[in-house]
Chain A
Amino acid sequence: MEITLTELEKKTRALRLNIIKMIGVGQKGHLGGSCSLAEIVAVLYFYKMKHDPKNPHWEDRDRFLLSKGHAALVQYAALAEAGYFSKAELERVKCLGAMLQGHPDMLTTPGIEANTGSLGQGLSLACGIAAGLRLDGRKNKVYCIVGDGEIAEGQIWEAAMTASYYKLDNLTAILDKNGLQATGAITERYNTNPLVEKWKAFGWHVAEMDGHNLKEIVETLDQVDKITGKPKMIIARTVKGKGIPFAENVVAFHNGELTQEQFKKACADLA
């Protein structure tokens, strides 16, 4: 392992701090679902994936799609941290004409592989990429993050069938099981559970992990590499708003505003 867990932990804190800074004070931002992914995204970008920030279209890169595109802030933080673009761009997120749009846009942002955010579509796009790479005999991997609210979209299950039918073993999906959708708890609003049984029934290899334990994320991602002949689903138990104590498991921070006081507190905690 080229990067230590301590270094990954630092990266994770940097991602969260930049998420908070991007949201700022008095503007809405998808804090909860971005922070629940900080460790997973840090491990993917700084440990697991083959990629080159200086050459975003490098043919041998692994691909990352954020199907739950509203969590774009965590990906923007990772791309800036990795050096795809200047961190100064983070200050302009969602400004008129800015590189960083409210949802990922491959035309404006280096390192974004596909336009996602209309929920349920990213996994199908990822399947198509995986099939295309395989047609070309390439060994690159495709990673796709979906949300536990998002999987209410029927297209997710169309893609789930496709991935196993076509035995797309170069595809690893990660399900951000943070337990909250925009209007409340998954179990109370629209229960998408049970997850393991569903994905197994659709022909996927299913693993589970603590989505905030860096060591476990590293090990799980490495383990699923050994599985061949079927797509891999990693169900990540996460906490929405993780790392920002006042926002953890609070529905209002799905897409909420920070007060000046909250902003200062979050920054101080993460500094």
Chain B
Amino acid sequence: MKMQNPRQVYGETLLELGRKNKNIVVLEADLSKSTMTCLFEKEFPERFFEMGIGEANMTSFAGGLSLTGKIAFTNSFAVFASGRAYDQIRQGISIPKLNVKIIGSSAGLSDFGDGATHQSVEDAAIMRAIPNMTVLVPADGIETRKMTRKIAEYQGPVYMRINRHDLPDLFPEDQEYEIGKSYLIRDGKDVVVFANGIMVSKAVQTAEKLIGEGISVRVVNVSSLKPTNEDDIKKYASGVKGIVTAEEHSLIGGLASVITYILRGSGLPIITIGIEDDFGQSAHNYDELLNDYKLTEDNITVSVKKLVS
């Protein structure tokens, strides 16, 4: 399976958008070589604003740019893009629905070495709680490209959290991307796994392995944490014995919250996989961390088997 790096794809797409639309402006808080906005900076230095290590000011400044008709993309690590600028996003941008795109890079545990201070476990939750905010989590490079193009067209504030590492291509190239929709990645009939981000590929790999054991798993990519089309979720949850949710995020306020809320009253058993009210920590590699927090194919496998037994 082809692997792509979502932040590389994001940087390239931003550049492509910048070539087409002179109103695209990019703001950075001294992480351009990590977030890959350096690609945009090189070609459009006049529309690239290095804001220094000051996320609060960067975010409000982006709001000001949007008030002159610009489509402003702010960039930092997810934990800072959402957390350090929470009040700026809430007050100056979300209340008046300004056209600012907040890009949380190196999201989840993907900045494995830097530990709890740099890993975002609650960013989607705090962004979801803000009225008028759209919250998106692409599963791979293809979806990152489609999503980045779409949010540039969409009028209003958006938070997008993207992974630091290479991910396998899963999103169909010919599938149009729409904010709010969930996407069937692989069909199955026994259990449905609702996942987003890196957990989509883990769910797909799990589903492939379980075929040999006679278990049929449906995998749905819920990349739009807000808004989330409820009919999509109910449709994909129909006819199965149970449901698994899988996310690289706290179980509080992210995908588990979205799915359990939408499917309340359905009577279906739901097992939620995610980070259990805990911060991240340093590790020598990403997989070591994912294993420690049980964000694994094994955990999805065990959960699916519980639901079919």
Contact = CB atoms under 8 A, between A and B. Distances in A.
Interface stretch (B50-58, B157-165, B219-227, B249-257): B50-58
Given A105-B96, A106-B96, A155-B56, A125 B67 contact: yes
Interface string A87-124: 00000000000000000011100000111111001001
A148 to B, nearest CB: 20
Interface of B: 25, 46-47, 49, 51-52, 54, 56-57, 59-70, 72, 87-88, 90-92, 95-97
Contacts of A155: 56-57, 60, 88
Contacts of B69: 132, 136
A115 B91 contact: yes
A189 to B, nearest CB: 22
A151 interface: no
* Interface bracket on A: 20 to 34
Label chain A's interface by main secondary structure: helix
A188 to B, nearest CB: 27
B217 to A, nearest CB: 45
A121 B68 contact: no
Nearest to A104: B96
Contacts, number: 105
Contacts of B92: 114-116, 118, 121, 124-125
Nearest to B61: A128
Contacts of A107: 95-97
Given A118-B87, A135-B46, A161-B52, A125 B64 contact: yes
A162 B57 contact: yes
A25 interface: no
Given A107-B97, A135-B47, 7 more contacts: A118-B91, A121-B88, A124-B63, A124-B92, A125-B67, A162-B54, A165-B52
A127 B64 contact: yes
A117 to B, nearest CB: 7
Most buried by B among A113, A135, A159: A135
A27 to B, nearest CB: 23
A72 interface: no
Nearest to A120: B56
A161 B52 CA distance: 10
Contacts of A207: none
Task: State the 8 A-B residue pairs at the shortest beta-carbon distance, nearest first.
Answer: A128-B64, A132-B68, A124-B60, A158-B57, A118-B91, A128-B61, A129-B64, A158-B54
A127 B52 CA distance: 15
A8 interface: no
B91 A117 contact: yes
A135 B61 CA distance: 14
Contacts of A113: 67
B216 to A, nearest CB: 49
19 contacts: A114-B96, A115-B91, A116-B92, A118-B92, A121-B60, A124-B57, A124-B60, A124-B92, A125-B67, A128-B63, A128-B64, A132-B65, A132-B68, A133-B68, A135-B47, A159-B60, A161-B52, A162-B54, A162-B61
